[in-house]
Chains A and B, each alone.
Chain A
Amino acid sequence: MIRPRRSLFMKYFVTLFVAVVTPLMLGSATEAWFAFRDNRLYLNEILQVEARSAADRIQAFTDGIRDQLGWVVQFPWTQGEDDRRRIDGLRLLQQVPAIVSLSMVDPTGTERVFVSRVSMNRTGRGADMSADPAVVGARANRVWYGPVHYRRDSEPYMRIAVAGNRAAAGIVVADINLKLIWDIIAAIKIGDTGHALVVDGSGRLIAHPDISLVLRSGAGAGDFNRLKSVVSEANGSAVSTTGEDGEPVVALAVRAANVDWTVIAEQPVLEAFESIRAALWRSLILIAIGIVFAFVLAYWRASRMWGPIRQLEDGVERIGMGQFDHRITIQSRDELEQLAIRFNQMAEELGASQQKSERINRLKQFLPPQVAELVEHSDQRLLDAQRREVVAIFGDLRGFTAFTARAEPDAILAVLRQYYEAIGIVTARHEATLIRFAGDGVMVLLNAPVTCESPAHRGIRLAIDMQAAVQSLANSWNAMGCAIGFGVGIAMGPATVGTLGWQGRLDYTAIGNVVNLASRLCDLAKDAQILVDPAVTGHVKDSIALASIGERSIKGYDHALEIFAVGRIYAPISPMLVDSASGRSCLTHHGADEQTGRNAVGRAVQITPEPDSTASSSVIRRNHALV
């Protein structure tokens, strides 16, 4: 059988699969997208906070130094106070660790006091610093932040100059070691490896958690100008770029306004988006699990649907082939199970109906249809074996054997067909049981399996009608040149009746002396003659004219029986037939000897529709039963 290209299984499977997987994928994708966006916003915020905090603290660092420097320029310069100023300077050094040295400049721009942690201190009139950019700058803006310079190409320094409220207070210029900003920068940790760094306006590194980089920066090492310009362009939002060590980072810049430095907070991309990656992995694993789950679920559901349908389909096929005992087991507790139950009921009913129709057909073999229906519907036990008084009628064509030797097979069959039809009609009319046809012979039973009133009367009338029907046929046959006649024997007595047979071939039959007697009487009967045994005669002699033809010895009977013949209704047929009848050319096939029995079998086989051994053997048994 050709399966449809798109099976129900596939349809169900695909639908269920898609129904589970699609929302899952959509959900995961949406979640991942939102998580990414949130993460990015969060990262932006974190970097912003850290950079801002660093910038504020750096500003506080420089502002603190500026404020401290303000202390020493509160009073106007007077003569002879250099030593007091020197002590101020030394105290300031003690107070602010980042200050390495201080120059105090009087209102004229001359250095008056110089104190240092490293170099020797100086007091008294010193160098003229009025052109020094620190002095110029402080005079102009009160506070001046110098550019970053790297002492000995290594340590970052910056000068801060502060002027007093009045020009008379002079100016203080401090040299600041920027290495001390390291504390601020090193304290900033963004995640595990994120950090902050500070570059000046020209992109040189001022502060970095790895101070070696700063110390190297004076010699031009590092690539911070690029980083600074890239990150600064983003205007306060995070950008993805390459960090100083060549790794991809997310960075954000904030300016420390007073000193024109840029604080960059950065975190390696790998770490920054780690939670996103983790979330994506989680989503992927969920999707994978979902797909497997959907697959299994869809397969299972589709199988649950498809399996019963296949079962039903198979069942229908089997029923179609006649296997009515086929049953379907579906335990899905749903409509399919209901369907299977219905199917099984249907199969059962079909089987029962088939059996019934088989039985009726079988009954119809030997019963008139209406009787058969009656038997079927009234009582099954009618066909069971039992002993009862029956009337057996045997009929047999005369001259048929000689005819078969001459005639064509078609003609033989045509004769038999007409003969059987005539017998059948008559038997049906009298509601008798047509036990069988055997070649040119026929056996009919009365009062079995269906009982009837006065079976003897019925039997004799049936025999008369049968004789009449066949005689009228024989007339037409003889007109065509055949010499065929018909003799009938009828007897009454107890017999065992019931169905006999093997496998599918069952026949209803009667066994007993009465059958043998009827058969013998048939053998004895001449054409157009109906020979009647004494029992039937006893019943019907009042209404039917019977004439005794004397006593005959019958095989199987110890003494001779008086045989009667129904008064002749029809004119005797041609003398030729009489001759041939007397020659017993065609009346011997029910002979007692086995030889003739076999002949009968041979003929019976010719008219049996199933010419197999089973049929033959059943016929044999039938004949034995008759004997």
Chain B
Amino acid sequence: MIGAALAYPAAALAQESARVYRIFWLSTQSQPDPFLDGFREGLRARGYVEGKNVVLELHYAIGNPQALREVASELRRGKVDLAVSSGPATRAMTAVEEVPVLFALSGDPVELGLVKSVGQPGGNFTGSTFLSLELAGKRVELLKEVLPNLRKLAVLSNANHPGEQSEWRATKEAAEKLSIVPHYVPFSGADELDNALGLAGEAHADALLVFPDVLTMVHRGKIADFAIAHRLPSMFGWSEYCDAGGLLSYGANQRATYFSLAIYADRILRGERPANLPVVQPTKFELVVNLRTAELLGIDLDKSSVLFRANRVIE
């Protein structure tokens, strides 16, 4: 619904425009990039064809926002119509004022100083937020509901992510409220993931909570398998994790979010100012449950309210 709503006025892309738009895609993560796929899908839906009327220039600087600052300066010089920054890369872009910048964040863009307010960004930045921070406590609560005896919770987090600290704080508070001891396992970059998983496995936790992030997203299969192997009920932020074998996920649809980002890209390319495009907040949050994983782990979900609350059950 949000995708369609943002697309107003819902006219198809002006095919008469012979111009080829140049879009920079900046990310501190590595490929494959599920966010990029969602964004590309959104562009295609708006009538853009890569190489014909739009060129996506991908700039990846794995775990190194500093390297992206050079790209940012190139942005100012070159004829770039739009920059799209995913995750931490947005940090490198804060100084850019000449080019509209779209972002997709888990955290609060106002807190990060990217926009003046959610309703009126007021500058050259706008985009989407997943509201992950607000949902952090909800995820702990849902885990507790499924596992009433939850005492120790391993929290796996890519520390190299904007707003990660806030998310951790919110998680910690929620856990404490529910008498759960959180075990924080931060890591930076893919190289440290295996090590972090090892640490989480050794924590003797009752469950595993993984912060939604492009890195954990890319390695979701590995993480889900790890959780099953260690008989850890797992909670994630996006449904894709559950498809890969995670037990639970609760959060906004990231594909829809990037899809809507592409719609904003379209509106900006057509001349609208990012200052007037409100930051998009998700309206729907999906609760996805993987029953197969639950069976593997021997968890009886019928005792909790999770099943009737689930938007999707993977059987």
- Seen from chain A, the residues whose Cβ lies within 8 Å of a Cβ on chain B are 87, 90-91, 93-94, 97, 116-121, 150, 152-155, 177, 179-180, 182-183, 186, 193, 209-212, 215-219, 221
- Seen from chain B, the residues whose Cβ lies within 8 Å of a Cβ on chain A are 1-2, 4-6, 8-9, 110, 117-120, 131, 134-135, 137-138, 140-141, 174, 177, 276-281, 283-285, 305, 308-309
Do A119 and B120 form a contact, CB below 8 Å, given A210-B9, A212-B276? Answer: no
- Complex contacts, B119 vs chain A, CB 8 Å: 150, 152-154, 215-219, 221
Selected from B118, B120, B138, B309, the residue in CB contact (under 8 A) with A94 is B309
A210's nearest neighbour on chain B, judged by CB, is B8
Q: Is the CB of A179 within 8 A of B283?
A: yes
Q: Is the CB of A97 within 8 A of B284?
A: yes
Bound-state Cα–Cα, A183 to B280, Å: 17
Do A120 and B120 form a contact, CB below 8 Å, given A91-B308, A97-B284, A211-B5? Answer: no
Q: Is the CB of A154 within 8 A of B279?
A: yes
Q: List 12 A-B contacts (CB under 8 A).
A: A93-B309, A118-B285, A119-B134, A152-B110, A152-B117, A154-B278, A182-B1, A186-B4, A186-B5, A211-B5, A212-B8, A218-B119
Q: Is the CB of B285 within 8 A of A117?
A: yes
Q: Is the CB of A211 within 8 A of B281?
A: no
- Complex contacts, A193 vs chain B, CB 8 Å: 9
Q: Is the CB of B278 within 8 A of A186?
A: no
Q: Is the CB of A177 within 8 A of B305?
A: no
- Complex contacts, B305 vs chain A, CB 8 Å: 87, 90
Do A216 and B131 form a contact, CB below 8 Å, given A90-B309, A154-B117? Answer: no
Q: Is the CB of B138 within 8 A of A120?
A: yes
B243 CB, nearest partner CB in chain A, Å? 22
Q: Is the CB of A120 within 8 A of B174?
A: yes
Selected from B131, B177, B277, B279, the residue in CB contact (under 8 A) with A120 is B177
B136's nearest neighbour on chain A, judged by CB, is A120
Q: Is the CB of A121 within 8 A of B141?
A: yes
- Complex contacts, B1 vs chain A, CB 8 Å: 180, 182-183
Q: Is the CB of A118 within 8 A of B131?
A: yes
Q: Is the CB of B5 within 8 A of A221?
A: no
* Interface-centre pick from B4, B119, B120, B135 (highest chain A CB count, 10 A): B119
A246 CB, nearest partner CB in chain B, Å? 14
A149 CB, nearest partner CB in chain B, Å? 12
A17 CB, nearest partner CB in chain B, Å? 47
**12 additional contacts (CB under 8 A) given A154-B279, A221-B276:** A90-B305, A118-B134, A118-B285, A120-B141, A154-B119, A154-B278, A211-B2, A216-B119, A216-B276, A217-B119, A218-B119, A219-B117
B89 CB, nearest partner CB in chain A, Å? 24
A211's nearest neighbour on chain B, judged by CB, is B5
Bound-state Cα–Cα, A217 to B9, Å: 18
Q: Is the CB of A212 within 8 A of B131?
A: no
Q: Is the CB of B284 within 8 A of A215?
A: no
- Complex contacts, B134 vs chain A, CB 8 Å: 118-119
Do A153 and B138 form a contact, CB below 8 Å, given A87-B305, A117-B285, A180-B283? Answer: no
Bound-state Cα–Cα, A179 to B277, Å: 16
Bound-state Cα–Cα, A212 to B121, Å: 11
- Complex contacts, A179 vs chain B, CB 8 Å: 2, 5, 283
B304 CB, nearest partner CB in chain A, Å? 10
B135's nearest neighbour on chain A, judged by CB, is A118
- Complex contacts, B279 vs chain A, CB 8 Å: 154
- Complex contacts, B177 vs chain A, CB 8 Å: 120
A87's nearest neighbour on chain B, judged by CB, is B305
Bound-state Cα–Cα, A221 to B5, Å: 18
A97's nearest neighbour on chain B, judged by CB, is B284
Bound-state Cα–Cα, A183 to B8, Å: 12
Selected from A118, A186, A209, A216, the residue in CB contact (under 8 A) with B120 is A216
Do A154 and B281 form a contact, CB below 8 Å, given A90-B309, A183-B1? Answer: yes
Q: Is the CB of B278 within 8 A of A212?
A: yes
Bound-state Cα–Cα, A535 to B309, Å: 165
B310's nearest neighbour on chain A, judged by CB, is A94
- Complex contacts, A153 vs chain B, CB 8 Å: 117-120
Q: Which 5 A-B pairs have the closest CB atoms?
A: A215-B278, A154-B119, A211-B5, A219-B119, A210-B8
Bound-state Cα–Cα, A150 to B308, Å: 30
- Complex contacts, B277 vs chain A, CB 8 Å: 212
* Interface-centre pick from B6, B280, B283, B284 (highest chain A CB count, 10 A): B283
- Complex contacts, A117 vs chain B, CB 8 Å: 138, 285
- Complex contacts, A221 vs chain B, CB 8 Å: 119-120, 276
A505 CB, nearest partner CB in chain B, Å? 94
- Complex contacts, A212 vs chain B, CB 8 Å: 6, 8, 276-278
- Complex contacts, B8 vs chain A, CB 8 Å: 186, 209-212
Q: Is the CB of A120 within 8 A of B137?
A: yes
Bound-state Cα–Cα, A209 to B7, Å: 9
Bound-state Cα–Cα, A529 to B157, Å: 174
Q: Is the CB of A94 within 8 A of B141?
A: no
Bound-state Cα–Cα, A212 to B174, Å: 33
B279's nearest neighbour on chain A, judged by CB, is A154
Bound-state Cα–Cα, A179 to B1, Å: 10
A51 CB, nearest partner CB in chain B, Å? 19
Bound-state Cα–Cα, A529 to B176, Å: 183
Bound-state Cα–Cα, A215 to B280, Å: 9
Q: Is the CB of A211 within 8 A of B174?
A: no
- Complex contacts, A116 vs chain B, CB 8 Å: 138
A148 CB, nearest partner CB in chain B, Å? 14
Bound-state Cα–Cα, A120 to B139, Å: 9
Bound-state Cα–Cα, A118 to B174, Å: 13
Bound-state Cα–Cα, A186 to B1, Å: 10
Selected from A118, A121, A152, A182, the residue in CB contact (under 8 A) with B118 is A152
Q: Is the CB of A211 within 8 A of B285?
A: no
Bound-state Cα–Cα, A309 to B107, Å: 98
Q: Is the CB of B285 within 8 A of A154?
A: no
Bound-state Cα–Cα, A97 to B309, Å: 12
B8's nearest neighbour on chain A, judged by CB, is A210
Q: Is the CB of A182 within 8 A of B5?
A: yes
Bound-state Cα–Cα, A118 to B308, Å: 17
- Complex contacts, B135 vs chain A, CB 8 Å: 118
- Complex contacts, A215 vs chain B, CB 8 Å: 118-119, 278, 280
- Complex contacts, A211 vs chain B, CB 8 Å: 2, 5-6, 8
A469 CB, nearest partner CB in chain B, Å? 119
Bound-state Cα–Cα, A152 to B305, Å: 30
A245 CB, nearest partner CB in chain B, Å? 10
Q: Is the CB of B5 within 8 A of A94?
A: no
B207 CB, nearest partner CB in chain A, Å? 17
Bound-state Cα–Cα, A186 to B2, Å: 11
B39 CB, nearest partner CB in chain A, Å? 19
B126's nearest neighbour on chain A, judged by CB, is A212
A86's nearest neighbour on chain B, judged by CB, is B305
Bound-state Cα–Cα, A584 to B174, Å: 176
Selected from A87, A119, A154, A186, the residue in CB contact (under 8 A) with B138 is A119
- Complex contacts, A209 vs chain B, CB 8 Å: 5, 8-9
B11's nearest neighbour on chain A, judged by CB, is A193
Do A154 and B118 form a contact, CB below 8 Å, given A91-B308, A216-B278? Answer: yes
- Complex contacts, B278 vs chain A, CB 8 Å: 154, 212, 215-216
- Complex contacts, A152 vs chain B, CB 8 Å: 110, 117-119, 281
* Interface-centre pick from A117, A180, A218 (highest chain B CB count, 10 A): A117
- Complex contacts, A180 vs chain B, CB 8 Å: 1, 283
